Every structure is written in C-alpha cells, then in structure tokens.
Amino acid sequence: MKNFKYSVADSLDSAKTALMERSNCRIIGGGTNLIDLMRENIEQPDEIVDVSRLSKQIQQLDDGALRIDAAVKNTELANHPKVRENFPVLSHAIVYGASGQIRNVATVAGNIMQRTRCMYFYDDAAACNKRVPGSGCDAINGINRGHAIFGTSTSCIATHPSDMCIALRILDTKINLESSKGKRTVDFADFHRLPGDTPHLETDLMPGEIITSIDIAHSARGSSTYRKIRDRSSYAFALVSVACILSIKDEIVEDIAIALGGVAHKPWRADILESYLRGTPATEGRFKEAIDREMEAAVGFKHNEFKIELTKRTIFSVLSELKTEENSK
C-alpha cells in the first residue's frame, strides 16, 4: 500500500472542497472496499477524506419516500423499523451481504460505489481494462465463473457485487449528489453503467461529486423477497440473486418489479420479464415464458454458462414462492 494522507471531514462542504482542490484525493466511508483495494495497490490515492462521520439520518419525506444519508451504516439501514416495515426486501438484501462485521462499518454510499470482485481486477499482474484501460481483459478467456451474462462487452465482463443495490433497483430509488459546483439527483437506474469500451467508468458520479443521500419509494407493492444463491451459506458474493416484489389479484399479476444480481456490471432490472407478466394471468407457464424471454439476451462464458440456467431457476423459484404468498393473503 502506498503512503497517503488522511483527514476527517467535519462538514459536507469541507469534503467537497477537498475533493475539488486536492489532486488524487478520494473519499472514504467504512473503508471496507477502498482500503482493501489500496492494500492491493489497485487504488492509489495520495489523500483520503473520511466522510463516515457526516450526517447519518434516516427520515421520512413529505411524499412518503425515505431519505437515507450516505454515511448510514448498512446494519443500521437494515435494522431501521421503517425499512423493515415498508421495504423488507431492502433489509433482506443487506443482511445477505458480506458479514456482520463488515455491515457494521460499511456505508450506504460505499456499498453503492464498491467495485467488482473480478479476480483479475484484484491481481496487478493480470491484464484488466478496468484497472488499466487498454491493457486487455484476462477474464474473457480466463476464469470467469463469477462473471456477467448480461450487458457484457469485449472489454469487460465483470459484475457489480452488491446485494443492497439489487433491492434498491426495484424500489423507486434516487441518488442525491453534490459537488462544489452544485447539486443534482439521478435515478438509481441510470447511476451504474454497463462496461462498453470504458469499463473503468463504473458510475455516473462526476469528479468532485459526493453522494449525500438516497431516496427510496415504492414503485411496486405486494409480497417481496430477496433470494441469493452462492457457493457457501454465508459470507460469499452472489452467483445469482433475485430481488422481487409481486402482487397478484384475482390470479392476475397486478404489479411486479424484479432485479437480478451477480449477472451484470450493474444491478439488472428484468424489464422484459416484468412487462410480459404485468396484467396477465399468474400461471407457472407464463412465468416460464417470461423468464425465457428475459434470458434470451444472456450470454455465458466458459465457466459461467451455468448462471443462465441458475438464473432461470432462481427467478422461477422466487416467483412461485411469492405467488403462494400472494394467494394466501
């Protein structure tokens, strides 16, 4: 790890100024991702500014949305009564992630901004376009069991590793950003990017910008769940995960929102599946058809071909489970 300067931001303004004025300066939340990457020499900031002591509130807005400050810890968010009551899928997704110790220090913004776990990204002896643009991608013809099946490019096939973000993707989430130039709000859907030929650009965050909070509201109502499939019972990243809200009335899919984790460079909303099912009979046959349509765009690589079948089965399992739950209401 390279030597670096460290300071604690006592206000949002001081953090914004630091980011703007100092070269090669980064902000840090819980540090559970950034520090690991610095230890591996993948991130090499000269200076880091700690924003984990800035505001950590969770408040209800007038329109019913919940505003969660960027420095709120993952554990706090998962345990918050309002979240557990109104957005249980978010609580579930968070507690399926990482470990208790990591969630106790990891922040909301840090979780959103965490970087891929691609093994070649972590090994500075490997070729990786994300780490060194233009150097190539060792994963495409290498070991790619954990890699993406949707939205990949010839430059990069990495996934976004977050669980929390998969749940945020089916909530009506907005990200509030600030820099010394001003404020803006972006849809969560537009925040993470696909790799294209610039896999080193992962989000819509501009230089100097800070995530200050996120707002979550419901776009869909009904029964919800988060299902994570992984190589051990706990403390492993998703091979595939599914966040889903489903409401069924009189045997008809009234509303559905579904997003997939472990399969793409960004939280993957299954739009095709949703629109195929919305307003139509909630039968297992139609579930299967909808899944097949969604999965048509999936492309596997040498070691992750199985993810296509696994994703199909996991979505089906989730839909059947939620259907049973809805029918028993």
Partner 1 sequence: MTLLKKVMERVLQFTPEKEPDPLIGEGKYIGKAMKRVDGVLKVTGQAQFTAEYKFDNIAYAALAYSTIAKGKITTLDTADAESSGGVITVITYKNAPKIGKPALMDPSGGSSGAMAADIPVLQDERIYWNGQPIAVVVAETQDQADEAVSLIKVEYEEEKAVVSFESELPNAKTPKDVLGEDPEVKVGNAEEAYEKSAHKVDHVYRTPRYNHNAIEPHATIAHWESDEKLVVFDASQMLYAFKNTFAKMFLIKPENVEVLSPFVGGGFGGKGSMWQHSILCVAAARAAKRPVKLNLSREGVYRIVGGRTPSVQHVALGANQDGQLEALIHHGTTQTTEYNNFAEQFSFPARYLYNSKTFDIGQKVVHTDTLANTFMRAPGESIGTFALESAMDELAHEMNIDPIKLREINEPKSDPLRHIPFSCRNIVQAYKVGAESFGWDPKKPGSQSDGKWRVGQGVATAYYPYYRFPGKAKAKIFSNGTASIQAAAHEMGMGTATVQLQHFADRMTLPIEQVSMQYGNTSLPESPMAGGSNQTASLGASIEAAVTALVEVCIKAANKSASSPFKGLHAKDVDIKSGGIYGKETDVGCSFVEILKLAGVDELEAEGASGQPFEMLKHSMHSYGAQFCEVRVHSETGELRIARWLACFDAGRIINPKTAESQFRGGIIMGIGMALMEETIYDDRYGRVANPSLAEYHMPVHLDIPHIEIKYLNIPDEHAPLGARGIGEIGITGAAAAIANAVFNATGRRIRELPITLDKLL
Ligand X SMILES: Cc1cc2nc3c(=O)[nH]c(=O)nc-3n(C[C@H](O)[C@H](O)[C@H](O)COP(=O)(O)OP(=O)(O)OC[C@H]3O[C@@H](n4cnc5c(N)ncnc54)[C@H](O)[C@@H]3O)c2cc1C
In terms of CB distance, is 97 or 222 closer to ligand X? 97
**218 touches partner 1 (CB under 8 A):** no
- Restricting to residues 306-325, name those near partner 1 by CB under 8 A: 306, 309-310, 313-314, 316-317
**139 touches ligand SF4 (CB under 6 A):** yes
Q: How far is the CB of 263 from partner 1 (least distance, A)?
A: 14
Residue 78: phi and psi, rounded to 5, are -65, -35
Dist CA 225 CA 90 (whole Å): 9
In terms of CB distance, is 13 or 231 closer to partner 1? 231
Contacting ligand SF4 (CB under 6 A), which of 9, 71, 156, 165? 156
Tokens of 78: 């998962």
Q: 216 — alpha (psi -120 to 50), left (phi > 0) or beta?
A: beta
Site string for partner 1, 224-263 (x = CB under 8 A): -----x-xxxxxx--x------------------------
Pairing between strand 210-216 and 174-179? antiparallel
Given the rule CB under 6 A, which of 59-67, 120-128, 237-245, 247-255 is the region that contacts ligand SF4?
A: 120-128
Distances (CA, A) of 186 to 196, 204, 235: 20, 9, 31
Sheet holding 223-229, edge to edge: 223-229, 240-249, 252-261, 268-269
Contacting partner 1 (CB under 8 A), which of 34, 70, 94, 120? 120
Pairing between strand 66-69 and 58-60? antiparallel
Is residue 120 a contact partner of residue 128, using CB atoms and an 8 Å limit?
A: yes
Q: How far is the CB of 316 from ligand X (least distance, A)?
A: 23
Q: Residue 94: enclosing H or E segment and its boundaries?
A: helix 88-95
List contacts with partner 1 (CB under 8 A). 1-3, 41, 117, 119-120, 122-123, 125, 138, 141-143, 229, 231-236, 239, 306, 309-310, 313-314, 316-317
Residues that bind ligand SF4 (CB under 6 A): 116, 118, 120-121, 128-130, 137-139, 156-158, 199
